[in-house]
Structures are given as structure tokens and as C-alpha cells.
Structure 1
Amino acid sequence: MFQRARAVALYDGTARDLVHRLKYGDRLDLGRAMARMMTSAGAELIAEADLLVPVPLHAFRLWRRRFNQAALLARSVARMSGIPCDTRSLVRVKRTRPQVGLTRAQRAENLQGAFRVPAAAKPRLAGRRVLLIDDVTTTGATGNAASRALLRGGARQVDLLTFATVSAGTD
């Protein structure tokens, strides 16, 4: 599980609109501005991170969407912060159904076994503090499932930085 989490905003109003435009409206240009806000909101976590890792999409979803919004945000945060971004240290091996509309328990079950650290990536993660990047935190199920895989893969610590969160308690 991740240790700490930070987000720029609550997932409502303008923040929700920005995420939807980026994710579903092909507004990739918004990624840079969103990443700038994430870099500011997550400054403490970034200062302690050795590596940025975006939450990966399953190959089928990546093919359908044509880009991974978490990877887009992570690359921009990396450019702004100077912390390296590794898009190959975590893979999504299970094609999960969309999380929208699922309960907390259903989300956790849906993501069980969804992520894996490839053997070749384990030396890159060994003993490192990883900052996991995603667009939205809802229940924390995705962040927790991805963090568990990263920790099993050798990471020393995993924190989570997202653009928006559903709950004020995530920060």
C-alpha cells in the first residue's frame, strides 16, 4: 500500500472537467498545466522520490484510448522536477473492467493481481522511493494495488500523487 498521497484538487467542478477533457476529449495539451499543479501540490513527495512511475493501462485500453493519461502527467512532472520517470517498471497484466460505479470492495477485487513488476525492472526499483502518478484517486484501490506490486518488486516506499481526489481524506 502507498504511504502518503497528495492531490491538487477535489474531483468536482473544474477539476473533474479537466480530467474528463484530458482523458476522454483528447485534450492532451491540458496535461502540462495539470502536471505543473501536481508538481506544486506534491513538492514534498517529489523532493523525497527517486523515481516516478505512472499507473499503467492494460494494452487493450491503451490501444482504445491511444494514450495513457497517467504516463502523460508523469512525464511532464518528471521534466519539471528532474526526477526520472519509468514507464516500464510496472505493467497492467489483467484486463479489468472500468472502476466507475463499483463499490470500494468491488474495486479492490477488480484490481487483484492486475499489476506486475517485470523481472527486468526489479533492479531499477530495488530500494528506491517511488512516486506513483495517476489522474484521479477515488477509493485508493488502484494506488494500493499498484503500490503492492511495486513493493513486491523491490521498491522501499511508494507514495501517490494525483491531479484530483474524490475524498478530502486522501491528502
Structure 2
Amino acid sequence: LHRWRLFSRRFNQAALLAKSIARRSGRPFRPVLLERIRATRQQVGLTRDGRTDNVRGVFAVPARRRSEVAGKRIVLVDDVFTTGATLEAAARALRRAGAARVDVLTFARVVAMP
């Protein structure tokens, strides 16, 4: 979640989920390993391709954190999975930084109604 969107919402629901999962599983909660390097427009109303374009190149692992990612299994947590564009962009940044594996946990999945 970009810092400006966090400021307007006052909370980050995915981070709250991730922190709880980390605490219960005994794993570290490390949101500093991945940062959003630019703001994007909201994904609501965008097509699959529009969502992919919107988040392309938006995530990065800070250079000072690359050693914490290299060779590690990373679990990304998100609140809602719609097209997977955001998670794919985040996973791509982690893999570029040398993550051995990136897994995803989501709370909800958006399904198109007929």
C-alpha cells in the first residue's frame, strides 16, 4: 500500500492480516523487504490488462534488504485476489532480488458472477 493511500485510509488491511499470520505461525513479519516505489491509480474498474499495466514495475526490494531476500522463501499476504496483477508484480520484484520461492496467501478471491 503506497504511503499516500495508507495516509488516507489510516490502515493497511493486508498488513494487519500478515502480521497476525506471522505472529500465529512464529514467522517474522517483514514488510520492509518490499516497497512500492511509485503511486498507482486504484485498481477498481480496470480490466485485467489495465491492472497489469497499472502495477508494472511498482515494487522493489530496497538494496539494503536484498541479502534478507536472497535464497529465502517469502510469503506474500493480500486481502483480496482479483486478477493477481498486484501479487505477480510483487512476486516478480522479490524473485529479481533473489528469493528462492514466493508463495501467496489471500483472504478472499473475487469471482465473476454469471
Shorter-chain TM-score range? over 0.9
Aligned AA (2:7): W
Ranges of 4+ aligned residues in structure 1 off by more than 3 Å: none
Match of 2:103 in 1: 159
Match of 1:37 in 2: none
Question: What pairs up with 1:10-159 in 2 under 5 angstroms?
Answer: 57-159=1-103
- TM-score normalised according to structure 2 size: 0.94
RMSD value over aligned CA atoms?
1.2
Identical aligned pairs, as a percentage?
58
Local SS of the residue matching 1:132 = strand
Shift of 1:153: 1.3
Give, in whole Å, the separation in 2 of the partners of 1:141 and 1:71. 18
Give, in whole Å, the separation in 2 of the partners of 1:155 and 1:62. 26
Q: Which runs of 5+ in 2 are unaligned?
A: none
Aligned AA (1:133): V
Match of 1:40 in 2: none
Shift of 1:65: 1.1
Aligned AA (2:101): Q
Give, in whole Å, the separation in 2 of the partners of 1:107 and 1:94. 15
Q: Which runs of 5+ in 1 are unaligned?
A: 1-56
Aligned residues: 112
Aligned AA (2:78): D
Give, in whole Å, the separation in 2 of the partners of 1:123 and 1:68. 26
